[in-house]
A and B are shown apart, each in its own frame.
Chain A
Amino acid sequence: QQQVKQSPQSLIVQKGGIPIINCAYENTAFDYFPWYQQFPGKGPALLIAIRPDVSEKKEGRFTISFNKSAKQFSLHIMDSQPGDSATYFCAASSKTSGSRLTFGEGTQLTVNP
């Protein structure tokens, strides 16, 4: 029940494409859903996050869509660039879990020029 399932495991798109990464969770206590971006040799960095009181959040080229009834959320990257090539992790936490994030398995994104 604590798991967060992420797909796909890897994704290759052309520059300008719109990669979509999906995550699903089961624990209804989760109330915070961040996405982290990780480049090789670096730690993960927060990209964008959403709470379940909204169905969509947009920051620049990154958009989270959230479906509370389906317990699913996804990341869309508009006008993707080669510099977006990285590993993306979805995650979830609850009010009582402190800084304990439950991470998805990760998606390795490659944006070809």
Chain B
Amino acid sequence: KAGVTQTPRYLIKTRGQQVTLSCSPISGHRSVSWYQQTPGQGLQFLFEYFSETQRNKGNFPGRFSGRQFSNSRSEMNVSTLELGDSALYLCASSLLGQGAANTGELFFGEGSRLTVL
């Protein structure tokens, strides 16, 4: 079974630009969540989508947004990039909300490393 796939793996943007990151969850997983990882703040929850609906949201400004498609694939967008947005953005999928199959485990992708210059 293929794991969580994130694209692109690396990207460089300049301040003020916007970026879209993509995540393909493990087949059969309907929950997709996004995390930001930085050396200073660690791993912080951005948002979670389940069946195309945002189910949970972290404490990030409105410049951070996401969506989920009917095939469970998800995208996140960051607009008006700031230097502080430089981070590893991790996507995780799980069976949360899918009854007895759920063990609570999140399966993370390898991340998209964003550098903002």
A interface with B by C-beta (< 8 Å): 32, 34, 36, 41-46, 49, 89, 91, 93, 97-106
Residue of B nearest to A96 (CB): B56
B90 within 8 Å of A (CB atoms)? yes
Chain A CB within 8 A of B33 CB: yes
Given known contacts A43-B90, A103-B43, A98 and B31 CB-to-CB distance under 8 angstroms: yes
Q: Report which residue of B48, B58, B106 has the largest number of chain A beta carbons within 10 angstroms of its beta carbon.
A: B106
B48 lies within 8 A of A99 (CB): yes
Give A42 to B55 CA distance when docked, in angstroms.
26
Q: Is the beta-carbon distance between B56 and A43 smaller than 8 angstroms?
A: no
Number of interface residues of B (CB under 8 A): 25
Give the contacting residue for A43; candidates B33, B94, B111; CB below 8 A.
B111
User: By CB atoms of chain B within 10 A, which of A34, A43, A89 has the most?
Assistant: A43
Given A91-B43, A98-B97, A103-B44, 4 other A-B contacts at CB below 8 A?
A43-B92, A46-B105, A99-B94, A103-B42
A34-B105, A89-B43, A106-B42 known; A99 vs B96 contact (CB < 8 Å): yes
Residues of B within 8 A of A (CB): 4, 31, 33, 42-45, 48, 50, 55-56, 58, 90, 92, 94, 96-97, 104-111
Inter-chain CB contacts under 8 Å: number? 61
Contact of B45 among A36, A45, A101 (CB under 8 A): A101
Which residues of the other chain, A, contact B31 by a CB distance below 8 angstroms? 98-99
Using Cβ atoms and an 8 Å threshold, which residues of chain A touch B42?
A: 89, 103-106
Q: Give chain A residues whose Cβ lies under 8 Å from the Cβ of B97.
A: 98
Q: How far is the CA of A99 from the CA of B4 in the complex (A)?
A: 15
Known: A98-B96, A100-B48, A100-B56. A43 touches B110 (CB 8 A): yes
Do the beta carbons of A41 and B110 come within 8 Å of each other? yes
Closest CB of chain A to B64's CB: distance in Å? Answer: 15
Contacts of A89 in B (CB 8 A): 42-43
CA distance A49 to B94 in the complex (A): 15
Q: Given known contacts A41-B110, A43-B111, is B105 in contact with A100 (CB within 8 Å)?
A: no
Please name all residues of chain B whose beta carbon is closer than 8 Å to the beta carbon of A49 when the two chains form the complex.
104-105
Are the CB atoms of B110 and A42 closer together than 8 Å?
Answer: yes
